[in-house]
Amino acid sequence: MTNLVCHRGLAKVAPENTIPAFTQAFKASADGIEFDVQLTKDKEIVVCHDNSVNRTSNGKGNIKDMTLKELRELDFGEKFDEKYKGTKIPTLKEVLDISRGFKMINIELKAQGGGDLDLAQRVLFEVRYNKYDNYTVYSSFDLNLVKEMKRQDSNCVTAFIYSQKGMLKYQLAKKYTQFAVENELDYLHPNYQAMDKHYIKNCHEKGIGVNVWGADCKMAKIKLIKAGLDCLTTDDIDSVIKIRDKYIER
């Protein structure tokens, strides 16, 4: 059955990539959550999508140039809604601590110039320490970072994220399973426009899982779920749960 994963938590009702967003995702019966991690100036792992805090907080600056203490002084909730005023940027540990009820988590790693090794090591340590290995998929748009994760731990589950844009579109158009095998990937995470039911079938024949993102069209979601997609990362969990309940057993 297709696992339904909340993109940055339930970000339509709470500030993205925050504890309230992840809590709301659980209440909405999501199978899992997707979130982004990166390193602070003092090498702490925080959960935030953008390299800077400008869009999501009341402050300005790049995460790699700020300490965790400095980041904690910012408000990551008020911009979204007054009722979330005082919401802080979470650490990876804090998110892991409230994620036991999910079937899986998808950690997207964001490298910021030369930090690949540190980020990989620290994230793997944190996940292992919290005994979350069996629930975790490590993903990134940065293939080198994904390969570094696998080099650090050959048993970890890795995924490469890509869209229909750029050179990789052409490299992966017909040889995506070969690409996955050569790079020791357990999953491919394509934008929904880059694949179809044959893509899913071919990946499954090679033992590769498929997690699709960006599918906003109802018909696209129906087709993907009926085709046996492994995971669907979504911003609209309620409607997708209804679609899965209606079509998955047919």
189 is catalytic: no
49 is catalytic: yes
Tokens of 19: 């504890």
Angle at 247 between CA 99 and CA 244, to 5 degrees: 15
DSSP the chain: --EEEEETTTTTTS-TTSHHHHHHHHHTT-SEEEEEEEE-TTS-EEE-SSSBSTTTSSS-SBGGGS-HHHHHTS-SSTTT-GGGTTPPPPBHHHHHHT-TTSSEEEEEE---SS-HHHHHHHHHHHHHHTT-GGGEEEEES-HHHHHHHHHH-TTSEEEEEE-SSSHHHHHHTTTHHHHHHHTT-SEEEEBGGG--HHHHHHHHHTT-EEEEE---SHHHHHHHHHTT-SEEEES-HHHHHHHHHHHTT-
Catalytic annotation, residues: 7, 49
